[in-house]
Amino acid sequence: CNRTVIDEFFRTTFRETFDESVDALQRDLDRWLEFYNTKRPHPEYRNCGRRPIGTIEQYLQNCEA
């Protein structure tokens, strides 16, 4: 996960954007993390293309059953 954040967020952001403050950078990171957890497919074999939020929702459904 750390490498993904570096490769997909920081390297891209630092090439394309100049944030005026740490708070602005944090806001950009928060938006990216929301995208990463709710919209970006995760093709790794454990996730089978699901997004992290889908994995959590499935786990919670299994706990309720």
Q: Look at residue 45 in the predicted model and tell me its pLDDT.
A: 67
Cα diameter, the chain: 49
**CA atoms in the 13 A half-sphere facing the CB of 37:** 9
- pLDDT tens digits, 24-63: 999 999 999 999 889 888 777 676 777 888 888 888 888 8
DSSP for 6-54, written as a single string: IIIIIHHHHHH---SSHHHHHHHHHHHHHHHHHTS---STTTTT--HHH
Q: Look at residue 4 in the predicted model and tell me its pLDDT.
A: 85
The token pair that represents 44 in the structure block: 């790794």
